[in-house]
Structure 1
Amino acid sequence: MTRTGRPREFDKGKTLERALELFWSRGYGATSIQDLVDALAVERGSLYGTFGDKRRFYLEAVRLYWQVYERRLTAALDTAPLLPVLREILTHPARTDELISEMGTPNGCLVGNTTAELVPHDSEATEIVARSYRGFTDIVADALHRAQAAGEVTDSARPEDQAQLLLYVVQGLSLVSRAGLDKKAALAAIDAAIDGLRA
């Protein structure tokens, strides 16, 4: 029998958070609308009506991912000494197995995954990714400026250049981690990067 009437209400914020987990564990291409319907227990028509098609839903999830990450990154780096906190942030892609949820285990960084799957042929995704990377380097550079002034971090390079290097480290590790990772080797490489920042 055909159902009539309005689709049942659902919490958009919580639904987006759960979709983010699913996209993060499976990837954009491997997640179908039916996967989302089944995992989120929301009617297909309600998803389309609220989020649009799968691409729009995914990009909204990526925006949410970055908003949460940026807040946490800013708060984490507002501390001294800085280098132990930076090490914790850089090792995060090597520890995604600690983040397993009912939706699965995250694969790398969702922004990095979006780079691999949708950039450069999707201009909106490209802009989201570029803005996220700029945000990361701006936040990290600000923290490095403070750490240089405190004598914790070497001033042999500009904080902006150091932050750019750390972006390459964390995104490279994030991408490599999707193919399996020698955690011991990854942590040793990160320690080398941190040692290179010491005053």
Structure 2
Amino acid sequence: MTRTGRPREFDKDKTLARALELFWSRGYGATSIQDLVDVLAVERGSLYGTFGDKRRFYLDAVRLYWDVYERHLTTALDARPLLPALREILTHPARLDEMISDVGTPHGCLVGNTTAELVPHDSEATELVTRSYRRFTEIVSDALRLAQATGEVTENTHPEAQAQLLLYIVQGLSLVSRAGLDRTATLAAIDAALGALRA
């Protein structure tokens, strides 16, 4: 049988995951195609042929980031009691030093970084981050509603509004973490927010 086309010389999923680390540590604008070629050790033509241009490659990386984050978020919030699990989610940006790879240190939330760099000028990026934020509030509000039913979370609050507030907190922390965080003050602020939810 005659083989057509050139065999792919790299694992697409592993390459995308590696690119995600690079984009996350450097940002979209500061990552060049040559950076990707050098770090991923993949020929430029192969990258273009598999992922398209840098923008398409970046948005695929953001989608991967969110898929992983959403699975982590859902699993974490299935734990009981809920409030300690929420605390773990909210303190994530304060623990960036635990996430250093040989590519670099991630800076904040990649979805939040995409908002800062590409929204609202890029409609596809805008749709992607809007959907991600909506999913965060849906997942968290569902968890809060269940915790109200068990008596862990006060009934004197609206789960949807509180979930939206927690989104603002986690995104705000992600942004501020890029300039460095005072861990003690950060944890105190998170505990104050969660204290208002306690029954």
Query: Smaller-chain TM-score range?
Result: over 0.9
State whether residues 114 and 129 of structure 1, in contact with CA within 8 Å, keep that contact through their aligned partners in structure 2.
yes
CA deviations 1:73-97 (Å, max 9, x no partner) are: 1111112100000000000011111
Q: Distance in 2 between matches of 1:197 and 1:102?
A: 39
2:33 matched residue in structure 1: 33
Amino acid at match of 2:65: Y
Q: What pairs up with 1:135-154 in 2 under 5 angstroms?
A: 135-154=135-154
Q: What pairs up with 1:1-199 in 2 under 5 angstroms?
A: 6=6, 9-199=9-199
What is the CA-CA distance between 1:157 and the residue it aligns to?
A: 1.3
Q: Distance in 1 between matches of 2:143 and 2:123?
A: 31
| C-alpha spacing 1:26/1:7, structure 2 compared with 1 (3 Å) | farther
State whether residues 90 and 170 of structure 1, in contact with CA within 8 Å, keep that contact through their aligned partners in structure 2.
yes
Which consecutive residues of structure 2, in runs of 5 or more, have no partner in the other structure? none
Amino acid at match of 2:131: R
TM-score normalised by structure 1 residue count: 0.96
Q: Distance in 2 between matches of 1:59 and 1:89?
A: 24
Amino acid at match of 1:54: K
Q: Distance in 2 between matches of 1:94 and 1:7?
A: 43
Amino acid at match of 1:184: T
Amino acid at match of 1:170: V
Amino acid at match of 2:52: G
Amino acid at match of 1:69: Y
Q: Distance in 2 between matches of 1:6 and 1:150?
A: 58
Which consecutive residues of structure 1, in runs of 5 or more, have no partner in the other structure? none
SS of the residue 1:136 aligns to: helix
Amino acid at match of 2:187: L
Q: Distance in 2 between matches of 1:54 and 1:7?
A: 22
Q: Distance in 2 between matches of 1:165 and 1:19?
A: 31
Q: Distance in 2 between matches of 1:187 and 1:159?
A: 22
CA deviations 1:104-125 (Å, max 9, x no partner) are: 1100000000000000000000
Q: Distance in 1 between matches of 2:140 and 2:93?
A: 17
State whether residues 157 and 197 of structure 2, in contact with CA within 8 Å, keep that contact through their aligned partners in structure 1.
no
Report the count of equivalent residues.
195
State whether residues 109 and 174 of structure 1, in contact with CA within 8 Å, keep that contact through their aligned partners in structure 2.
yes
The percent identity for this pair of structures is 82
Q: Distance in 1 between matches of 2:30 and 2:45?
A: 21
